Structure 1
Amino acid sequence: MSDFTVHTIESAGESKPMLEKSQKTYGFVPNLHAVMAESPALLAAYRSVADIFDTKTDLSPTERQIIAMTNNRLNGCTYCMAAHTSIMQGLKVPQDVIESLRDGTPIADPKLEALRVFSEQVNQKRGWVDDSDINALLSAGYTKQTVLDVIVGTAFKVLSNYTNHIADTPLDKQFAKNEWNADAQPAT
């Protein structure tokens, strides 16, 4: 595999202002952002889609994390599984929800489980979901907007998951306690 640079603020060139913002926001520059800095377009796209997903959807923080984590797990992204586990802990997402998302097992809350299952279907079927998939989500109390917002969350995760696969992004020490390995997970 090709070696990708984990940029510093000083080496980031055109991406420097974005890494400075990461430093200010998180107190450190996540290695994902540092790797993405190689392509200012990718880093800007990732940050833009993340902001849109966080501020333009009607989804709660927990619901957004369900979409993100479902994609992370299905895409086998060890970096994002650890990072989003840490994020969920900071958001005070219930531990049973975190464990279900890490393991790919049903969430006890039926509405949240419907969102997890639909997110899984969108990922696995590459968007070619059936009417029954959509109806199950709508019957759980979600809307057609939610159907489309799941696509936003899926696109957000494609940007980061694929970057991490290609660049083999090293896990930040801040996320190490939540390391995840796809091979160690229960079969679904």
Structure 2
Amino acid sequence: MNLIVSQVNGCNYCLSAHTVFGKINGFTDEQILELRQGYFSTNEKFDALVKVAKAITINKGKFDDTILEDFFNVGYSKETLVDVILAVGDKVVMNYLHKLTQIDIDFPVAQELELIKS
């Protein structure tokens, strides 16, 4: 979730940090790039989660019914949706903080991607 939210918000610090954390947690470079683009081709639960996080960020909480249906159909609950909304909100605040303060990136800089559009 942190990768897609940071990608949408254009926060290079958070993208760089979460790319490193993703690699530490076993994600491949290709998987990290997929997450930053808003999907995950090898796991339907991760895919549904990332799509919901992207929708929350881009559409400011408005959901396409299909995205929510997919989220619930892979086993997530309404309680999990609340957790996702809170996690996205927290990451948005951190993205804004890093963009405002322009803290030096102290991780390997994440590869550039075209900005995510809705």
Q: How does 1:1-188 map to 2 (within 5 A)?
A: 67-102=1-36, 104=37, 106-108=39-41, 109-172=43-106, 175-176=107-108, 178-181=109-112, 184-185=113-114
Instruction: Give percent identity, aligned residues only.
Output: 26
Structure 1 ranges of 4+ moved more than 4 A: none
Structure 1 residue 111, shift from structure 2 partner: 2.0
Q: Which runs of 5+ in 2 are unaligned?
A: none
Check conservation: 2:48, 2:67, Cα contact below 8 A. Answer: no
Q: How many residues are matched? A: 116
SS at match of 1:171: coil
* Cα separation, 2, equivalents of 1:186 and 1:124: 12
Check conservation: 1:74, 1:120, Cα contact below 8 A. Answer: yes
Computed over aligned residues only, the root mean square deviation of the Cα atoms, in angstroms, reads 2.0
What TM-score does the superposition give when structure 2 sets the normalisation length?
0.84
Q: Which runs of 5+ in 1 are unaligned?
A: 1-66
Structure 1 residue 125, shift from structure 2 partner: 1.4
Asked which structure has the greater CA Rg, the reply is 1
What TM-score does the superposition give when structure 1 sets the normalisation length?
0.55
What do residues 31-59 of structure 1 show as CA deviations (whole Å, max 9, x unaligned)?
xxxxxxxxxxxxxxxxxxxxxxxxxxxxx
